[in-house]
Structure 1
């Protein structure tokens, strides 16, 4: 079959249609992000080629200088973003662009409200990548050829119900994306404008981003042309791995833009830590705490983790071996000199060096969170509302850091009687009554049920604070976290509460009178149920509710 004959028209997945509709009727006030997203994808394609070429150098085919090229054509009303990275096969184009194979997709669309400002924020959280091209383009043409293959394919769509796939000829591997701009988006057909966007959003990309630069003709003193005018490539960005730079050379804007690239997020991060460890096991880490939880945070099949580099060479995404599950929301990069370039996920599982790097990374992240909790309670409250339930997995999963993670936990409490989880164990201990040696808690299916539990009556009467636990993870947490700072965690619904020492003289007198009044009843019950119960006694826990 000739390449011309291999053309087909296919329909978009329903979710893609919905997303493209949002892009075409752009919700974004900042339309420049389309270029950042396309550059980020091109950078990922180059990283993947570098990794594959570690075991198959022939994939370079004599072209190992990887770069991203940006060009524009005022007459054709187009912007073209090209890379000589890994490229895609016909099947991969259909899989990656015709569908959204992303966890949390349904939840994302269900969350959309129709309010432009709110929906714009949600879309940024979800991440749209390639589809952002339709913010400024009314038609997009993508031509790609996979490294090691001779076949190429062109994908084209106006962002409506369908797209075409056509087998074509392409001389070199890589991907070219042509944006046919909307009539009202011609402002982007400008050299200075495009360069400014690259510097603003993508200066941190380690791959060279090149654009044409016109070199004027050279003339001698008599005005005769000695050298003709010409066009040369000019690298627009810094083109160096940002995490290798000194912290003193980077500002918040640079850190934030790198996060958006590595975290595939549109929002600024909540915080970051940038650290280099030297010695027998050298590594650099640049790790971020997102401001919002990703949609797939609770999807057990979703991959989470940081990017792993070895000597600035990309090795893998979602390196789960470098971060425990309870910190699966952390994004960023870890680059080490201590591993071989051909390291696999299987080798990572067994590597002692990886265990050391993981321990160091966890230490830095916990230190970062501790600093926020101590110095910016409002910021930490925002973090906790997004990731609190994940952090509660920490004491169960990470025995080595059990105490440190426990200090980060926050709970609702009878101290405020609101559903705001802002009480730490240390806060609770600071408010404990004299002679109190237990941390009391109640668990329930909802905050309202916890707050209204009859078991709290005696505690409210005696002025003893109780933690109100109503998250699904809480039962699991308290079954594994038995104490904090020498204080036993005690359920108000189980076992001996040991509250007698808090009785006032009036309480004791009242209890003696009740015991005396029911003495004969207790004796009779014991006799009747002698072979069925071990003991019968009066409880003073309930003061208002019927027992």
Structure 2
């Protein structure tokens, strides 16, 4: 080791992940080569793009390629590229540290996974393919020099707790990863990575479509042989591409270990030509709801890579879609600022979005199991589109599924809900809340359950946002069962309620005054059958769950007073009315009313302003009752 070499420790999360990869993750060791070749291809893409944008970049781009070099005697395999390369800080940041949000949660799930397939699924969703090298190697040496830099760096590790890193004066441009292969074992005939035939087989299976040449060094100094076909999958006729080829291409661009759930091809011809090959993953990436997430669509121009995670081609709510879009008429020197204003990009985006949504809609009938998987994994993200994609709002509503009171085991679409609606029913009823259990036990649901009206059960945080922004579906408006006036009564029941109103009017006025610090009004309810009281909001008020969300984000809101509704048929309420008429002194009744309000608040999952006072009042009432 030279005086300039340093020994550093892997970040603790990286160390844990390395051990999991080495000892328990992959069932197919061959995939390490796919990951290294894919990384090399990315590095070549980045160099060509960088050289195009910076004409003065001192970099050789005359023969960009990936090279595989084997030394059977020393049992080494080197994957070399002459791409963009890395600086020392980039090496430490990309390999020695895992700086992703959610790493701790990911490791917890990985350790809890009961089988190798489950572990492989998780690690594929996290995307750290370089570590797979240690499945087949006792030691890995990486030598790299970033294009335009004068000095390179050597990184080396045996996959334990530390690695060494040191400067290299004469490193060539790009990156070379040398695997010091583990000793041969009884499975050597299956995993002989010094075999030219084995390496050729792996490259053709996993990396045949990579546009850069993958060259296998000749034996005894012979001429290198290009072992991949280099044919862009999206440019080949669909009839010539097999599902396994699509699956491997998806894994190449996404660094996912699972096959895609659905493959989408699109070809536009005419005044503006482009081709698209898109994929819907079978599992949501772990960073789907993290701020630093990237969208997955890559932009090419005439088969030349231009931009990764091109946000202008896919809206935020479809950020999980992976793939490539290859345009014929854009400039190679396109920037994100230009893309934001480009009319052709906007037209492409509109058509791509419609194609993705129509594909999901077709899955609902043609592949119902795949659709259910899709909605389970990505439904929460898709519903974000209801807030800002007005053009496709109806299409999103058509592919959405929701829990409902109709069948606790199966979700329903809005079309199915409307088809089941009772004769004369004008609204699609729903209730939002933190959990299904909380909603199903809510007093608000009593009359709807009693009269057989179906109610949508909305528990995702995004449901609180979009449901107030979307007017309805299929000519039917959405109606919260916890807001505004909801009246399911027959004409006879309405007449009976009018007669009761006169009996309760004085009590209601007095309670409204007594509870003025907590509620804006006390009124009789038409939505209760067994509970004595419930709390409801005005039609356009923020729901309690949404209010909690705003306050948790640090947003100050004015006090929101809601409405206390009483069940006039409940014995507690009728006895309260009788006592109100009998007693001159209302002080004791004030405490009862306060308890009634607190009970209603707790029954919907609310929080008491003064739990200690509520407990004292309840204790006193229980003592007197005994």
- Give the equivalent residue in structure 1 for 2:618: none
SS in 2 for 1:318: coil
- Give the equivalent residue in structure 2 for 1:522: 504
- Give the Cα–Cα distance (whole angstroms) in 2 for the partners of residues 171 and 529 of structure 1: 83
CA 1:454–1:231: 2 relative to 1, 3 Å = same
Please point out which of 251, 262, 270 is paired with 1:271. 262
Preserved CA contact (<8 Å) 2:488 2:526: no
Please point out which of 298, 304, 311 is paired with 2:289. 298
- Give the equivalent residue in structure 2 for 1:96: 94
- Give the equivalent residue in structure 2 for 1:218: none
SS in 2 for 1:293: coil
CA 1:513–1:87: 2 relative to 1, 3 Å = closer
- Give the Cα–Cα distance (whole angstroms) in 1 for the partners of residues 512 and 323 of structure 2: 66
SS in 1 for 2:224: strand
- Give the equivalent residue in structure 2 for 1:225: none
- Give the Cα–Cα distance (whole angstroms) in 2 for the partners of residues 183 and 163 of structure 1: 21
Of residues 461-470 and 20-29 in structure 1, the stretch that sits farther from structure 2 once superposed is 20-29
Preserved CA contact (<8 Å) 1:107 1:295: no
- Give the equivalent residue in structure 2 for 1:377: 368
**CA drift at 1:281:** 2.0
- Give the equivalent residue in structure 1 for 2:569: none
1:78-117 mapped onto 2 (5 Å cutoff): 78-112=76-110, 113=112, 115-117=114-116
- Give the Cα–Cα distance (whole angstroms) in 1 for the partners of residues 280 and 102 of structure 2: 20
- Give the Cα–Cα distance (whole angstroms) in 2 for the partners of residues 327 and 63 of structure 1: 35
CA 1:534–1:442: 2 relative to 1, 3 Å = closer
CA 1:526–1:20: 2 relative to 1, 3 Å = closer
SS in 2 for 1:46: helix
Please point out which of 192, 212, 216 is paired with 2:217. 212
SS in 1 for 2:364: helix
Q: CA-to-partner distance for each residue in 1:303-342, whole Å, 9 max, x for gaps?
A: 2231111221211211111111110111111111222111
- Give the Cα–Cα distance (whole angstroms) in 2 for the partners of residues 528 and 203 of structure 1: 80
CA 1:452–1:22: 2 relative to 1, 3 Å = same
Preserved CA contact (<8 Å) 1:243 1:285: yes
**CA drift at 1:189:** 1.7
**CA drift at 1:54:** 0.5
SS in 1 for 2:165: strand
- Give the equivalent residue in structure 2 for 1:330: 321
- Give the Cα–Cα distance (whole angstroms) in 1 for the partners of residues 436 and 509 of structure 2: 41
1:446 matched to 2:435: yes
- Give the Cα–Cα distance (whole angstroms) in 2 for the partners of residues 270 and 150 of structure 1: 45
CA 1:427–1:138: 2 relative to 1, 3 Å = same
1:281-320 mapped onto 2 (5 Å cutoff): 281-320=272-311
- Give the equivalent residue in structure 1 for 2:464: 475
| Residues paired across the two proteins, number | 522
- Give the equivalent residue in structure 1 for 2:157: 157
- Give the Cα–Cα distance (whole angstroms) in 1 for the partners of residues 166 and 522 of structure 2: 83
- Give the equivalent residue in structure 2 for 1:142: 142
- Give the Cα–Cα distance (whole angstroms) in 1 for the partners of residues 299 and 173 of structure 2: 25
Of residues 523-532 and 279-288 in structure 1, the stretch that sits farther from structure 2 once superposed is 523-532
Q: CA-to-partner distance for each residue in 1:515-542, whole Å, 9 max, x for gaps?
A: 54x3652354478689999998643321
CA 1:432–1:182: 2 relative to 1, 3 Å = same
Of residues 356-365 and 50-59 in structure 1, the stretch that sits farther from structure 2 once superposed is 50-59
Greater relative CO (CA pairs within 8 A, separation 6+): 1
**CA drift at 1:406:** 0.8
Please point out which of 197, 200, 204 is paired with 1:195. 200
CA 1:519–1:454: 2 relative to 1, 3 Å = closer
Preserved CA contact (<8 Å) 2:487 2:527: no
Please point out which of 378, 381, 385 is paired with 1:394. 385
- Give the equivalent residue in structure 2 for 1:220: none
5+ residue gaps in structure 1? 215-228
SS in 1 for 2:286: coil
- Give the equivalent residue in structure 2 for 1:234: 225
Preserved CA contact (<8 Å) 1:24 1:138: no
CA 1:298–1:536: 2 relative to 1, 3 Å = closer
Preserved CA contact (<8 Å) 1:305 1:322: no
Preserved CA contact (<8 Å) 1:138 1:158: yes
Preserved CA contact (<8 Å) 2:509 2:522: no
Q: CA-to-partner distance for each residue in 1:28-49, whole Å, 9 max, x for gaps?
A: 1100000000000000000001
CA 1:147–1:526: 2 relative to 1, 3 Å = closer
Please point out which of 418, 422, 429 is paired with 2:418. 429
**Superposition RMSD on alpha carbons, in Å?**
2.3
- Give the Cα–Cα distance (whole angstroms) in 2 for the partners of residues 442 and 523 of structure 1: 29
Q: What is the TM-score normalised by the length of structure 2?
A: 0.79
CA 1:546–1:536: 2 relative to 1, 3 Å = closer
Preserved CA contact (<8 Å) 1:311 1:335: yes
- Give the Cα–Cα distance (whole angstroms) in 2 for the partners of residues 283 and 249 of structure 1: 19
SS in 1 for 2:38: helix
**CA drift at 1:149:** 2.1
SS in 2 for 1:54: helix
**CA drift at 1:291:** 0.6
**CA drift at 1:102:** 2.6
**CA drift at 1:60:** 6.9
CA 1:519–1:293: 2 relative to 1, 3 Å = closer
- Give the equivalent residue in structure 1 for 2:125: 125
CA 1:545–1:44: 2 relative to 1, 3 Å = same
Preserved CA contact (<8 Å) 2:44 2:81: yes
- Give the equivalent residue in structure 2 for 1:347: 338
Preserved CA contact (<8 Å) 2:512 2:522: no
Preserved CA contact (<8 Å) 1:144 1:153: yes
5+ residue gaps in structure 2? 534-626
